Amino acid sequence: MLTMKINGNAYDVALENFDAAADALQLDQNTREVIKYPERVLMVSIPVRRDDGRIHHLEGFRVQHSSVRGPAKGGIRYHPRVTLDEVKALATWMTWKCAVVNIPFGGAKGGVTCDPKHMSQGELERLTRRYTSAILPLIGPDQDIPAPDVYTNAQTMAWIMDTYSTTKGYPIPGVVTGKPICLGGSLGRTEATGRGVFYTIQSACEHLHRNVKGSTVAVQGFGNVGSITAQLLHEAGAKVIAVSDSTGCVYNPHGLDIPALIHLKSLTGKVDGFPEAEPIQHEELLGMECDILVPAALENAIHSDNAATVRARMIAEGANGPITPAADRVLESMGVFLIPDILCNAGGVTVSYFEWVQNEQHLFWEAQDIYGRLERVMKTAFRDVLKLHGERNVPMRLAANMLGVGRVAEAVRLRGIYP
């Protein structure tokens, strides 16, 4: 499997982002001490029975960074590179992300260090059920609500929901979001993150007096977030000229046929081999001359060694933490307009919130209702971040972090510090 260059530890990046926001907000030291670090960290041992009868030990994590503004919320990642620090970073970003879009959740994240591409469905089910039972004391609809992330999906959520419900003795759909619709999932959740990325790109284009229609786009990562973003941009008349996944990169200067590429990926599991395109190197995609670059794979994709090669005019961070702080500084000096992750990809957690509300109320909303609400939330958050960016003359990432951290700090001020 192709791995990205690790340029620093994601948790160090998360702490650096926090410190910059806290400094800019002139946050008092006591509040910093309360909101900076994870509230709870659980590391679990997961013995998984492989199909050949062997037991294979895996490590899993669940981190609750904050429950100051509401139940902790965050996805579960299955990937060979999952570490405790990565999960802590992702949980921390979830806290600020939920605050940026102003939904009543805190931040959490989970992960299992494993290679799901080399596991059968039966092995994945046993892994998921054992991991769920190990983190069971922490999760619950009023405590901590998992969702899909890299290499987990609606089926994974169904197994978690079933394991949790069976243990408690009655169905509890609100324990996870991103479930299949027939188990209480929400319409629009699967495509919510990509749709949110699209809405923020629309807002950014409006702000910069550019058109989505006719824009050229490169997308790194063609999973849930990347493929939906590409699809919506394609439908809006943008030209998606390059796309990659872990198996390869494809390029067509006249624009890729995104529905056909999605179809190929669903059949073969890869973009590699798409007939109407030429293969290119991963680094070529990141350095491609285009209007909009969408990193939608993993952390640290753009780092100090390749930032100067970026030729996109706008970057929309579909992924969490795809740009290191050193690369941020380079891109800022080059005048690249950034839609930062905790704003750009917050559509997923926003529709997760809608799903949770529907589960709590035992009712279902129409798809158009969900899209309308999501668009309002995303565009309001974009305006709020842009306002701070302008008023305080700070980069977009710092503005987003200031908004998120500031809202959590205000909640702490009102709640007080126990005891």
Chain residues binding ligand NAD by CB under 6 A are: 2, 4, 148-151, 193, 220-226, 244-246, 282, 296-298, 318-320, 345, 348
Give min distance, CB of 65 to ligand NAD, in A: 15
Give min distance, CB of 418 to ligand NAD, in A: 31
Instruction: Pick between residue 96 and residue 151 the one whose CB is nearest to ligand NAD.
Output: 151
Give min distance, CB of 102 to ligand NAD, in A: 17
Of 369, 373, 367, give the one whose Cα is nearest residue 181: 367
Eight-state DSSP code of residue 300: T
User: Among the residues of 315-366, which ranges form H helices?
Assistant: 325-333, 341-344, 347-361
Give min distance, CB of 77 to ligand NAD, in A: 7
Which of helix, strand or coil describes residue 305?
coil
Instruction: Pick between residue 220 and residue 359 the one whose CB is nearest to ligand NAD.
Output: 220
H/E element holding 146?
A: strand 144-148
Q: What is the DSSP string of 232-281?
A: HHHHTT-EEEEEEETTEEEE-TT---HHHHHHHHHHHS-STT-TTSEEE-
Instruction: Pick between residue 77 and residue 313 the one whose CB is nearest to ligand NAD.
Output: 77
CA distance 52 to 118: 13
Give min distance, CB of 382 to ligand NAD, in A: 16
Instruction: Pick between residue 298 and residue 396 the one whose CB is nearest to ligand NAD.
Output: 298
How far, CA to CA in Å, does 312 sit from each of 54, 135, 289, 320, 336? 49, 42, 6, 19, 7
Number of neighbours of residue 106 by Cβ within 10 angstroms: 25
Q: Which residues are catalytic?
A: 109
Nearest-CB residue to ligand NAD? 223
Is the peptide bond prior to 340 cis by the omega test (within 30 degrees of 0)? no
Give min distance, CB of 78 to ligand NAD, in A: 9
Instruction: Pick between residue 221 and residue 287 the one whose CB is nearest to ligand NAD.
Output: 221
CA distance 303 to 5: 8
CA distance 155 to 158: 5
Instruction: Pick between residue 22 and residue 76 the one whose CB is nearest to ligand NAD.
Output: 76
Eight-state DSSP code of residue 177: S
Q: Are strands 55-66 and 40-49 parallel, antiparallel or unpaired?
A: antiparallel
Q: What is the DSSP string of 121-133?
A: HHHHHHHHHHHHH
